[in-house]
Chain A
Amino acid sequence: MSLLLAIVPIIVVVLLLSGILFAFKPKKKKPVMGVKKTKWIVGSYAVILIIATVLSFLLPIDRNTAGKSLSKSEVDKIQKVQDSIYGSISNGRFKEQEFKGALIKKKSWSFPFNEKALTFSLRNPDNFSPSILVEKTNAREIQGIYYVGKAIVDGIDVTDKISSPTIHLNHSSLIIGNPDAKEVKFAKFSTAFSFDQFSGKPTVFNHESYGIFGIDILYLKVPKNVQITGDYHPVN
């Protein structure tokens, strides 16, 4: 039954198209349109399409993201690197260069710091709880770097759409606030399936959504002799 229902639209479309085509079929005695007029119409159509194509390349890209689509294997590679991040962290190691391409530096802060102790607090831990990494340094300041794992939605890199958290230092207390909640509507345009077929991208026949999402790391450099309270991973 479902199959019957599935082919109903096909029948409707075929009937519709046949109707149109037969309506335009030139009759022997009296053609629907003269050759000149038809040529003019076809020519204008082609010109309109060409103009639209040129326009589509000149579109105001700054307010739109002309994201380059990533293939499944490229995304898998990034995912693999991201998977290794937590293993590395639990071993007390974090080298940004090792995760190049999979982890993006979003924002950095620095605060002069002369206290003996430091407390972390998350303003809303249910909504946002990044992994906090702490490296002890000789500097007399606290440096914070927010890293976000490359976020990919169906092959589209959306990392730059993610906002950064806020950080405030209040005496010896570091308050980490939520990034602004962001709702983004994307429209993804693709060419016909015959274009995807040879480009290694998923086609209608093997389409699967793929993406990665949700790595938040706050990397803090804290003076050596400061006593820290809060959940964190010591690194390096």
Chain B
Amino acid sequence: MALVDIRNLTKRFRNGDEVIVPLENVDLDIEDGDFVSLMGPSGTGKSTLLNLISGIDQPDEGTVAVDGVEVTRLSRSQLADWRAANLGYIFQTHNLVPVLTAYENVELPVLLLPLSRDERRRRVELALEAVGLSDRADHFPRQLSGGQEQRVGIARAIVAHPKVVVADEPTGSLDRKTSEQIQVLLQRLNRELGITLVMVTHDSETAEIASRQLLLDEGRIMERSDHNRSEVQAVAS
């Protein structure tokens, strides 16, 4: 069974009398250790799919299972517990807590786990080291550059050793040079630490760092072949 198993997923939004269906009967498997990028025009449901995998949104139909747990059946509190233990989320706009230092921001997810203080410290230090920010641990978000903030966000997403990390346009608010640094970092996390990554991006260059590239359009997911990037293959409808 795939690590992420999505079946017949449908999400509708109502805007007055109009019904928008960004996702319709979507099927998708993501294997353990995959690095998946999701591309597509604006409003095609990329972030919605990410939110449904994360359990911060609920589908109208279909199921999402992660590592055998059907997250679409969990209550809001159960989902919170599940996310704390199994999911890392990298936001486009970093979303660090401004009153907390980089260290404290990274520590937030592990505060929710039954870990000793020493183990928490060890994990936070490792996560900050992994993103190359050990020397910025005591800095507040306002004292960091955009790229550094995003690296703190990445450290926060991986610190609890989640089964899957989702990233919603992680380079969307960064300049080209910083974007490249983040791309390299994400690739390293996937290759060296074996972290399963699902990344939404608008940028085809960023999408190409993923081992598996998906295109989402008109509610359907298509896969771009690894061997021929110009070929777009429908894998689900």
Whether chain B is bound by chain A comes out as no
B residues near A, CB below 8 A? Answer: none
A residues near B, CB below 8 A? Answer: none
